[in-house]
Structure 1
Amino acid sequence: MDARLDYLATTTGTRSLKHFMAAGRALKESPLPAATQELVALRVSQINGCAVCVDMHTKEAAAAGETSARLHLVAAWREATVFTEAERAALELAEQGTRVADAAGGVGDECWARAAKHYEEEQLTALVILVSVMNAANRLNLIVQQPAGDYQVGQFH
């Protein structure tokens, strides 16, 4: 299976990817916990059906020490006991921020309040930007039908 378009072979694609990479570096340097970042990136990608990003973030999280139990349960986080209240709040915000078309007004006030209870402003900023960047990356990969499965840990760092 080949992608419809090799956007990295174009000047516009390589220039644009540099900005995605810069955003990713800024997020990694943020005070939002790395484990939370990977769980959120994985959940957003699961919702959007982006196999490339599911592959990437599952492998990156595992390499960083995330347990297989937690990775397998991200899709069913509401019923799982392996996530902290803070992680649950982040996953809820990620879901509502990804499914904005499902609810008028996007993220609800109660969801926001739960996230704000666990994360200070700098972390909330990182969380919101992470959800936004992941949704953009997912859409890019889905539009060009980027094949998945070959990601190597650290490939885009």
Structure 2
Amino acid sequence: MEPRLDVWNNPTAGRILKHLSSTGKVLAESPLPGATQELVKIRASQINGCGFCVDMHTKEALAAGETQTRLNLVAAWREASVFTEAERAALELAEQGTRIADAVGGVTDEAWEGAAKHFDEDQLVALVSAIAVINAFNRLNVVVQNPAGDYRPGQFA
């Protein structure tokens, strides 16, 4: 399967993606746990049907030491016993932030309060930013139909 556009090698897209991609370094340096970041990116990507990002972030999570069991259960996190309360709050916020048009008013106060109970202001900024950025990447990849399966950890580092 070939993508509709080769955004990774297009000069205009390259200038745009350079800025969007630079958020990855900032998020990596943030106080939000890396495991939480990857779980949120995977869940949003699953919801958005972005195979490219699901492939990328599951492989990055595995390379960083995440367990296969937890990765297998991200889509069913509510029924799984392997996630912390903080991770559950982050996943709930990610789901509501990704499905923002599904509810009047967007993210519920309960979801926000759940996240705020577990994360400080800097972590919340990083969490909200991670949700926003992965949704942008999901939309880009889904629109241009970037194929999934060939990503290698560290490929875009």
Per the TM superposition, whether the score is higher than 0.5 is yes
Shift of 1:155: 0.5
Shift of 1:9: 2.6
Give the Cα–Cα distance (whole angstroms) in 1 for the partners of residues 92 and 33 of structure 2: 16
1:139 aligned partner: 139
Give the Cα–Cα distance (whole angstroms) in 2 for the partners of residues 58 and 34 of structure 1: 12
Q: How does 1:77-92 map to 2 (within 5 A)?
A: 77-92=77-92
TM-score normalized with structure 1 length: 0.98
Superimposed CA distance per residue, residues 111-134 of structure 1 (whole angstroms, 9 cap, x where no aligned partner): 100000000000000000000000
Structure 2: which amino acid aligns with 1:36?
A: T
Superimposed CA distance per residue, residues 47-81 of structure 1 (whole angstroms, 9 cap, x where no aligned partner): 00000000000000001000000000000000000
Structure 1 stretches of 5 or more lacking a match? none
Aligned residues: 157
2:38 aligned partner: 38
Give the Cα–Cα distance (whole angstroms) in 1 for the partners of residues 64 and 7 of structure 2: 29
Q: Does 1:124 align with 2:153?
A: no
2:106 aligned partner: 106
What root-mean-square deviation, in Å, do the aligned CA atoms of Structure 1 and Structure 2 show? 0.6
Query: Which deviates more, 51-60 or 5-14?
Result: 5-14
Structure 1: which amino acid aligns with 2:129?
A: I
2:73 aligned partner: 73
1:156 aligned partner: 156
SS at match of 1:81: coil
Structure 1: which amino acid aligns with 2:73?
A: L
Give the Cα–Cα distance (whole angstroms) in 2 for the partners of residues 140 and 66 of structure 1: 26
2:2 aligned partner: 2
Identity of aligned residues (%): 68
